[in-house]
Structure 1
Amino acid sequence: MTTADPVQPVAVADSDPITQERIDTSPAIVSDNVDAILRDYDVFRQKCPVAHTNQYGGYWLMTRYDDIKAAALDSATFISSVKAVIPSDPRGLRRPPLNFDAPNHTPYRTALDRTLKPARIKRLGEPLARHAEELLQRLLEKGKGNICTEFAASYAAWVETEWLNLSPDTAPRLASTASAWVDAWRRMDGQNVTFYSTQLYEIAGEVLADRRENPRNPEEDPASSLLLEKNSNGEPLEEVHLLGCIRQSLVVGMVAPPLMLGGICNHLSQDQALQQQLREDPSLIPAAIEEFVRLFSPYRGFARTASKEIVLHGQTIKPGVPISITYSAANRDPSVFDDPHKFVLNRPNIAMHMGFGRGRHRCVGQPLATL
């Protein structure tokens, strides 16, 4: 997946009296209360489908499926090179491929996609299953544990370690560093964001230096694959961007899995019938996973900015102003998904969900995430 911290998707339309009144009263404005946020989405879709907030310097928020899908697919109008996440890196850094537009985006995306073809995903299955069993066994032996912090965060680090061919001792180092970095980002603590990001860059530098000395099969190794690519002028990719892409890849799967697995386990703990159904018939698990991704999209959304002035639902959006294309709102749009807040196994149109995004910046790690 192209990584970023989740957008805080709380917007209030300056021109809408109903939503304007809720600035000081909606729990979603001041917390991560998911139920409150989902209720806000439902209101915004009906009353103000393109809303605006002054939070994080001001940004627009889309909540209707059709608008969000169209924006995600139109990378010429809705660009990523100005701002791709809200809140954005407090230091203003831009890393590929998330923060790049085509054609600059293309070689980085090509290199990463090359390492996630079906044959590679199949080969990763056995070691990743082994890591999952070993981590879960620790919780089983204790008889209790936190599935997000004690299992998912460590497991995500092992997924990254296997995909990027890191040394085994890197996994715990990555888990602790990425966790501290995410926490600092959420608090907009620029000093600690820099501190922990520097440690991630050190890991990226070590990987890149080793692959220059000991290149691996580019179909199996992201760093080796990146070193083969050229920019639009036929020149080798710049060192700073190579490091940035590897560093981005190091954390690409560190944010979403704990959130996603936490949502799944919480849901299953409350729906004992579904839990039993999946235990008895594991063939239903892939379909269940797709519905879980729709319901519990770990990234609420990503940001774009308009490359030109556009008018949408009567609102004029100026170039350079951030726009949240809120996938979690699209996935709960009742005009597309019947009973959108309900888990429906084998939902007929489940392939329409946008839990992995759309367009040029769809989740690069979707095959790995699904596995």
Structure 2
Amino acid sequence: MTLQYWLRWLSLQGVPRLVLRVQSRRGDTFARMMGPEGIRDPHPYIEQIRAQGKLVKTPLPWVTCDHSLVRTILRDNRFGVRSSARIEIPKVLAKFANRMPPPANPADPPAMLRMNPPEHTTMRRPVVSAFTPRAVEKLRERVETVTEELLDAMPSDGSVDMVEAFASRVPIAIIFEMLGLPRADMGQFLFWGEEMTPMLDVGISWSKYHRAMRSARQLNDYLDRHIERLRREPGEDVLSNMITGSQLDHYALKANTSIIIGAGFETTANLIGHAITLLLNHPEQLDRLRAEPELWPNAVEEVLRYEPPVFITARSALTELELEGVQLPQGAMIMLSLAGANRDPAVFDDPHRFDVTRPNANEHLAFSSGVHACFGANLARMEAGYALRAMFERFPDMRPAGPPRLRQQLTFRGYAQVPVRLGPAVHATSSH
């Protein structure tokens, strides 16, 4: 099994990793953006790409950072997501690499992230009803309770890592409830999520891929047991509805459960982590929010614009087509920089300025657009809006306790650690 996974890694990650390294040494802007320098600060590379035009050919894929073009491609049914299972693997590798399918995970079909309509529509339909504005509003009271419990547990005037203690804990508690999972297992899921999300990057190392596959197998075993329990005793949760109300097979149920965990957890954890860091680094913006708390929803939109939880995505041409005067062959790959689109000066004035009062902050593309728009967007907005306001009201003197540390991954770009000194706790009496 390890040999098969190694061959899959070589085909899907190892070869792209080598190409990116070679092109980075040659000075290619896109390759450097996708490497360690780009993870630290991608925006200089984004602006170099933007200066070359709306649609830029690199030695690897086409790239665009243009807001209008990114939105157009995301909504154009002539483009689709790229399935890693459909990458052309040399036959000698494919014979061994595909002998055994990988464990169900968000990076491989039949996870909806890697599917195009009509299969994607079939996968998505049983899930989206749990994330409508009305359904999300029903979760508000639970979000408030979870938030207050987490804040109560923090040491007044102590120091904590806000990712571990708060940013990750609010969304995982809610998604567990939605999936009918026991709260005692949250810590294990946080670990699995940390290990598995790099699979959505390009060119990850063998050691990261191996750890991700190991966690994917463990998660598969766990979900096998959980799904069988829900088959016998279904509840009112999303997963029970998927089991009883859809035609998804067991493998597809597991793959899409991992996507729901990612959509409901990873993006929100990154959003809250970015927001804490940005507001602590821009105290004048925090002061504005304290003076005008009605600005909090717009502040969440500005965080999403300024530091989107998902940095980059990709689409492939499903047919030969013309785009921006360029004739693209079927299969042509275009990397879409959501972060670049969100700082397009044609749409956002002074785009590199963080401004919680920005009037058109909600024009960002942080949650994608079109058929693959993030179905967890409403939940993420609600969770972050309440949690952030409650946290800064509870600890008004919060200060950084050291430099935050970014995860070494680009697709889901967020902080691994945000150390803070809390200051004295203030127990507010007013409701939000």
What is the count of residue pairs matched by the alignment? Answer: 342
The residue that corresponds to 2:429 in the other structure is none
Distance 1:229 1:323 in 2: 36
The change in CA–CA distance for 1:215 and 1:29 in structure 2 (over 3 A counts) is closer
Q: 1:202 aligns with which of 213, 216, 221?
A: 221
Distance 1:337 1:171 in 2: 39
| Corresponding residue SS for 1:166 | coil
Q: Deviation string for 1:203-229 (max 9, x for gaps)? A: 332332222112233xxx221222344
Provide structure 1 residue ranges, at least 5 long, that are not aligned to the other structure: 1-7, 231-235
The residue that corresponds to 1:170 in the other structure is 185
Distance 2:336 2:117 in 1: 19
Q: Deviation string for 1:229-273 (max 9, x for gaps)? A: 45xxxxx22222122111222233343233322221111112212
Matches within 5 A, 1:13-24: 22-23=27-28
Q: 1:72 aligns with which of 74, 77, 91?
A: 74
Distance 1:29 1:96 in 2: 24
| Corresponding residue SS for 1:289 | helix
Distance 2:72 2:371 in 1: 12
Deviation at 1:142, TM superposition (A): 6.4
Amino acid at match of 2:73: A
Distance 1:222 1:362 in 2: 19
Q: 2:289 aligns with which of 278, 283, 286?
A: 278
Matches within 5 A, 1:266-345: 266-313=277-324, 315-345=326-356
Q: TM-score, normalised by structure 2?
A: 0.71
Distance 1:107 1:163 in 2: 20
The residue that corresponds to 2:61 in the other structure is 59
The change in CA–CA distance for 1:278 and 1:340 in structure 2 (over 3 A counts) is same
Q: 1:44 aligns with which of 46, 49, 62?
A: 49
| Corresponding residue SS for 1:109 | helix
Contact 2:78–2:318 under 8 Å retained in 1: yes
Contact 1:154–1:172 under 8 Å retained in 2: no
Amino acid at match of 2:343: R
Deviation at 1:316, TM superposition (A): 4.3
Contact 1:260–1:293 under 8 Å retained in 2: yes
The change in CA–CA distance for 1:184 and 1:106 in structure 2 (over 3 A counts) is closer
Deviation at 1:194, TM superposition (A): 1.1
Matches within 5 A, 1:1-371: 22-23=27-28, 28=33, 30-33=35-38, 36-53=41-58, 58-74=60-76, 76-83=77-84, 93-141=108-156, 143-182=158-197, 187-188=204-205, 189-217=208-236, 221-230=237-246, 236-313=247-324, 315-371=326-382
Distance 2:290 2:148 in 1: 16
Provide structure 2 residue ranges, at least 5 long, that are not aligned to the other structure: 1-16, 88-100, 383-432
| Corresponding residue SS for 1:337 | coil
Contact 2:305–2:362 under 8 Å retained in 1: no
Q: Point out the more displaced range, 321-330 or 130-139.
A: 130-139
Deviation at 1:289, TM superposition (A): 0.7
| Bigger relative contact order (CA 8 A; separation at least 6) | 1
| Corresponding residue SS for 2:224 | helix
Distance 2:28 2:323 in 1: 23
Distance 1:61 1:330 in 2: 11
Amino acid at match of 2:70: I
| Corresponding residue SS for 1:302 | strand
Amino acid at match of 2:69: D
Distance 1:129 1:331 in 2: 30
Q: TM-score, normalised by structure 1?
A: 0.81
Distance 1:224 1:358 in 2: 28
Identity of aligned pairs, percent? 23
Q: Deviation string for 1:279-302 (max 9, x for gaps)? A: 233221011111111111010122
Q: Point out the more displaced range, 163-172 or 282-291.
A: 163-172
Amino acid at match of 1:200: L
Distance 2:108 2:120 in 1: 15
Distance 2:75 2:240 in 1: 29
Contact 1:306–1:318 under 8 Å retained in 2: yes
The residue that corresponds to 1:5 in the other structure is none
Contact 1:175–1:254 under 8 Å retained in 2: no
The change in CA–CA distance for 1:227 and 1:318 in structure 2 (over 3 A counts) is same
The change in CA–CA distance for 1:355 and 1:295 in structure 2 (over 3 A counts) is same
Q: CA RMSD in A?
A: 3.2
The change in CA–CA distance for 1:199 and 1:312 in structure 2 (over 3 A counts) is same
Contact 1:149–1:258 under 8 Å retained in 2: no
| Corresponding residue SS for 2:112 | coil
Deviation at 1:196, TM superposition (A): 0.2
The change in CA–CA distance for 1:153 and 1:44 in structure 2 (over 3 A counts) is same
